[in-house]
Amino acid sequence: MPVRDEGRPVVVGYDGSAESRLALRWAVEDARLRFLPLLVCHAWQWPYPRLSLAPETTEVVRRMGGRVLENGLMTAREMAPRASIHGRLVEGTPAAALVGLSNDAELIAIGPRGAGDPEELRIGSTVEVAAHARCPVAVVRRPGHRRVGRVAIAVEDAAVDSQELAIAFEEARLRRATLLIICLCSEDTGDLRSAAVHFNTSVSVWEERYPTVVVETMIETRPHVEALRHAADRSDLLVVPDREHHDPLDPAIGPVCRVMLSEAPCTVVVTPSQAWSPSSWAELSARG
């Protein structure tokens, strides 16, 4: 695939687990769609204090990590022989390594849990990455339904001038998918018809910017989690912000996002509330 020389890479966390192999496959395809390089990252660490380790023991563990990374690189290159694919071996926790790389990444792809994680801790490090990364984070999950060619996003009170909506449109454009935009209204919204008119008028501005994206709209008064869970059941990819607009800076990740990371039957792309300027968003802002 041709690659933009100046492009920020798509980064994938790889640890050899089945979940990380699924994330790797997704990331290879995502990098191909964006014409960007792929960076495969593996983090290694020893679970005991450094003082208890001889240097040769540390080197053995590092080499073991290197072999895991090489396996990931070999797998990625088999999937995309002409792609620009690089590896990064980092000492430390996977979450810290990926958050550190997020400043210079277009997107980070990870599985819902890592190698050796027990079932009850499925989203522990995943939440940490999604909460602190400075670029979008795709938590890749094998879909619980057949592929339908739809990306979904929900916005609150017709607030469509947002970076997460720009990301959703870009994801739909890249995948040639339909974009479902849900307007979340409270149950006591007085004039739903007026809200719907305002919402659809605002969405039409985005449709002019992305003329190739087919858009579906919906007004929802159900609780946010229920509405998003229903949308995820009918989509291949769900875009959610890391926290709701009315949330304070703490907690680091909002309750709706946390539930979707745990329960959504499709891949979830978490958009950051921290400062971020990806190439696609910068280009879109320039056009606007």
Tens-place pLDDT, residues 202-216: 899 899 999 999 999
Instruction: Give percent above pLDDT 90 in the chain.
Output: 54
192-201 confidence digits (pLDDT tens): 787 788 888 8
Neighbours of 237 (CB within 10 A): 24
Average pLDDT of span 95-114: 91
Rounded to whole angstroms, the Cα distance separating 266 from 147 reads: 10
> Which of 43-47, 63-67, 200-204 is predicted with the least confidence, judged by mean pLDDT?
43-47
DSSP-derived secondary structure letter, 112: S
DSSP reduced 3-state for 139 = strand
Peptide bond into 251 cis (omega under 30): yes
**11-25, 46-60, 213-227, 259-273: least confident range:** 46-60
Q: What is the pLDDT of residue 144?
A: 73
Residue 98's nearest CA partner among 126, 70, 73 is 126
